[in-house]
Amino acid sequence: MEVIPAIDLRDGKCVRLYQGDYAQETVYSDEPERMAAQWVEQGATRLHVVDLDGARSGHPTNIAATRAIVEAVDVPVQLGGGIRTPDDARIALALGVQRVMVGTAAIEQPAVIEALCAEFGPESVVVSVDARGGMVAVRGWVETSGVEALKLAQDMAGYGVRRIMYTDVSRDGTLTEPNFEMVRTLVRESGLSVLAAGGIATVEHLVKLAGIGAEGAIVGKALYTGDIDLKRALRDVSATSP
């Protein structure tokens, strides 16, 4: 299982939100590219970048900061936040990111997902299944749809998607624990590879996610607070992964 550090961008800075609330923000760095380089130096093999401004505005916004991150590291970068059209995806991929993460469009315009998979290949497209109370949240998590997380994942398989990222919004940034039950359900019943996020607070959480069968885990706040040491996490997960 991959342990993937998260870098959330707002106004060009590296920040973390609490439960996706833009009013509860902590700034960790004015130079996200240095934070990216730090995680790679500690062994990260992939980085997860979220354009928080883009998620709210509906189009990629933190272009300069994303480009700086891609240029600062030699590992693959995946980018989410505001990618809702093929043109948005082209902009993101032109920056050098390997994968684009698409959330809102999967609910509002699922045909876009099919078009993205056809144009860029399914390995370049990840659908973000962000859920609050089991229902998918959209538009920067400020709205909740009437679609269940598992139903969205199963539907996406029919559009050519191979990989989803599941986030329990209510646990994101809380340092409680992941929604293991839902991750397990998605791994078993969606037919897709699953990246897990939200609430990861300890190395033991990561080891358990690996045991459940998650392909990767996105770790944000716990890395920035020091609750998780990346080098130890990579070592322990590697020792337990098949």
Decide: 197 and 173 in contact? Cβ < 8 Å: no
Is 74 noted as a catalytic residue in this protein? no
Q: Which of 8, 53, 168, 172 is catalytic?
A: 8
Q: Which of 51, 53, 130, 172 is catalytic?
A: 130
Pick from 132, 80, 142: nearest CA to 106: 80
Please name the residue ranges forming H helices in the chain: 32-41, 52-57, 63-72, 86-94, 104-108, 110-120, 149-157, 180-189, 203-212, 221-225, 230-240
What is the amino acid identity at position 186? L
Distance of alpha carbon 213 from alpha carbon 188, whole angstroms: 9
| Residue/partner pairs of 87-94 with CB below 8 Å, 24 or more apart | 88/59, 88/60, 89/116, 89/119, 89/120, 89/125, 91/60, 91/63, 92/60, 92/66, 93/120, 93/124
Locus of tokens 């995806």? 89
- How far, CA to CA in Å, does 143 sit from each of 18, 21, 80, 133, 139? 16, 12, 17, 12, 6
Say how many residues make up the chain.
242
Is 30 noted as a catalytic residue in this protein? no
Question: Mind telling me the catalytic residues?
Answer: 8, 130
